[in-house]
Amino acid sequence: MSEHSGMVQKRGIGHWFTHLGLIIGVLFIFFPIWLAFVASTVTQPEIVRPPMPLLPGGHFIENYSKALFSGVNAPVALMMMNSLIMALGITIGKIIISLMSAFAIVYFRFPGRTIFFWLIFLTLMLPVEVRIVPTYQVIANFGMLNSYSGLIFPLIASATATFLFRQFFLTVPDELTEAARVDGASPMQFFWHILLPMSRTNIAALFVILFIYGWNQYLWPLLITTDPSMNTIVMGIRQMFPSGDDLADWPVIMATSILAMVPPVIVVISMQKFFIRGLIDSEK
């Protein structure tokens, strides 16, 4: 590339090479999804006689309505509903309990406070994948298999969000607390009217991260939802493949894959600003 045309940023030919490189990268990222989309708009015979077409066909509505309303084991609309309940349950549940406990840890002194803090800190270390067997037994003992609470609670039990809110609350100026106390505000009034409104951006950022985390869960729903009507969409796709040598219903499976991406992608794109912030903050 020509090094003399500009100083650091490229103009002229170098500039176009930069764009070309990026466009190749974008195409590479898009290709698997494009292929899935094309497969979701053609017929089964077009796919099983390779090579399949590389441009969309005319069976979009047919394949998507088949997936949504009948599916393979359960209608995909139902699986999306399950995913939505699970993702929102995890997101909202985690945000609420984290706000409460971070408030308690930062704004009060009580016996055992340090111990609680470290206990919470410990949970940062252990992803659900590591403790699946005993957690499964707990859920089974409570009769929570094939239930929303069984899907949601074990995934709320980690303290990333508590840690994040704690960090944020520590940066809130003491003068505000002082002023609230002078005005005779109770701790909960301070929480509702001052702390919560100030935390809006952090809550939004966390919402994006947690929603994607919840929606994309795979192993946990795979273990505890044996009833197809409780399957989530992300784990349900794999269940749509027939066992043995039977031919998979590719157009319907690919339509389901696309449907599984749509909600989290919409959340990321529409809340991009919060998402980038949340991502970078949550890793600090």
Q: How far is the CB of 246 from another protein (least distance, A)?
A: 12
Q: How far is the CB of 33 from another protein (least distance, A)?
A: 7
Among positions 239-258, residues that touch another protein (CB under 8 A) are: 250, 253-254, 257
Judge whether 118 and 229 are in contact, CB under 8 Å. Answer: no
Helix, strand, or coil here: 33? helix
Q: How far is the CB of 229 from another protein (least distance, A)?
A: 19
Cβ distance to another protein smaller for residue 73 or 123: 123
238 binds another protein (CB under 8 A): yes
Question: Is the bond into 51 cis (omega within 30 degrees of 0)?
Answer: yes
Binding span for another protein by CB under 8 A among 55-63, 71-79, 104-112, 198-206: 104-112
Give residues with Cβ within 8 angstroms of 115, minimum separation 6. Answer: none
Spatial separation of the C-alpha atoms in residues 42 and 40, rounded to whole Å: 6
Distances (CA, A) of 269 to 87, 200, 212, 238, 253: 17, 19, 12, 26, 24
Among positions 45-64, residues that touch another protein (CB under 8 A) are: 47-48, 50-52, 54
Among positions 157-216, residues that touch another protein (CB under 8 A) are: 157-159, 162, 170, 174, 177-178, 181, 187-188, 190, 212, 215-216
Spatial separation of the C-alpha atoms in residues 264 and 137, rounded to whole Å: 30
Among positions 123-142, residues that touch another protein (CB under 8 A) are: 123-127, 129-138
